[in-house]
Amino acid sequence: MRIILLLLGLLLGQTVVAADALPEDSVYQLRDNFTDQDGREFVLASRRGTPQLVAMFYTSCRYVCPLIIDSAKAVNHELGPDERAALRMLLISMDPVRDTPAVLRATADQRKLDSQRWTLAQTGKDSVRRVAALLGVRYRELNDGEFNHTSALVLLDADGRVLARTEQLGSKPDPAFMDQVHAALAKPGAKTMPDLSTKN
């Protein structure tokens, strides 16, 4: 495991070449491996093709984290059916020790998150740090295993570029952020979901 993480670390920052080159300001430049709630491994770049709503959380959090899922749900709630079908959600845990795929699966079930559209992901401690840096999320692990962290919803375009972010959480979405979500989903080509079977 350690060796794998090390190798992944060495890959960090390698640019993707040739026809499918990612924009250099894409968060998907990160090459770290993630594991979803069903135990499937993926890299962020595999999520190219549709806009994403991304946030970081951890399941044992008693305070703000339930609110993060609530806030992402609230964004979805304001979308029309076509828009909703075209937006995918990615919640990345900052607690790789406790948030195993089984725990993430249980959370997804408990919060009634449709796995076709919602991905809850675990990744290694080092890549948690890297993805948090890319998303502008600040966090610190506490002595009792809880985390201090800033909470943000980040909107990525189909190529993983940050379009908008908000730290305004709650059941009423940030209007300026909502405008950006609508705009992103109105773009041609953003209406259809990619085939999830090719996710890996």
Partner 1 sequence: MRLLPLALLMLPALGTAGGGYVGLPGGIYKSVLAYEDTGGNIPLAAFDLMRQPVTNAEFLEFVRRHPQWQRPNVPSVFAESRYLSHWAGAMELGSTALPDQPVVQVSWFAASAYCEADAARLPTWNEWEYAAAADETRRDARADPAWRTQILSWYSRPSNQALAQVGQSPANYYGVQDLHGLVWEWTEDYASMLVSADNRTQNEQDRLQFCGAGAIAMDDRENYAVLMRVALLSSMEGAHLTSNLGFRCARNVTGTTP
Residues at the contact surface with partner 1, assessed by CB under 8 A = 6, 9-10, 12-15, 22, 24-27, 29-30, 61, 63-65, 67, 129-130, 132-134, 136-144, 146-151, 167-170
Quote the least distance from Cβ 179 to partner 1, whole Å.
Answer: 20
Quote the least distance from Cβ 95 to partner 1, whole Å.
Answer: 11
Helix, strand or coil, per DSSP, at residue 139 = strand
Among 158, 176, 179, 160, which Cα is nearest to 168's?
176
Number of neighbouring beta carbons within 10 Å of residue 140: 9
Q: Which two tokens stand for residue 35?
A: 């594991």
Complex with partner 1: residue 42 or 139, whichever CB lies closer: 139
Q: What phi and psi, each to the nearest 5 degrees, are found at residue 155?
A: -100, 125
Question: Do 52 and 82 meet the contact criterion of CB atoms below 8 Å apart?
Answer: no
Quote the least distance from Cβ 191 to partner 1, whole Å.
Answer: 27
Complex with partner 1: residue 26 or 52, whichever CB lies closer: 26
Among 153, 131, 129, which Cα is nearest to 140's?
129
Quote the least distance from Cβ 190 to partner 1, whole Å.
Answer: 21
Complex with partner 1: residue 3 or 198, whichever CB lies closer: 3
Complex with partner 1: residue 117 or 149, whichever CB lies closer: 149
Quote the least distance from Cβ 110 to partner 1, whole Å.
Answer: 19
Complex with partner 1: residue 40 or 111, whichever CB lies closer: 111
Question: Do 53 and 72 meet the contact criterion of CB atoms below 8 Å apart?
Answer: yes
The CA distance from 175 to 102, in Å, is 35
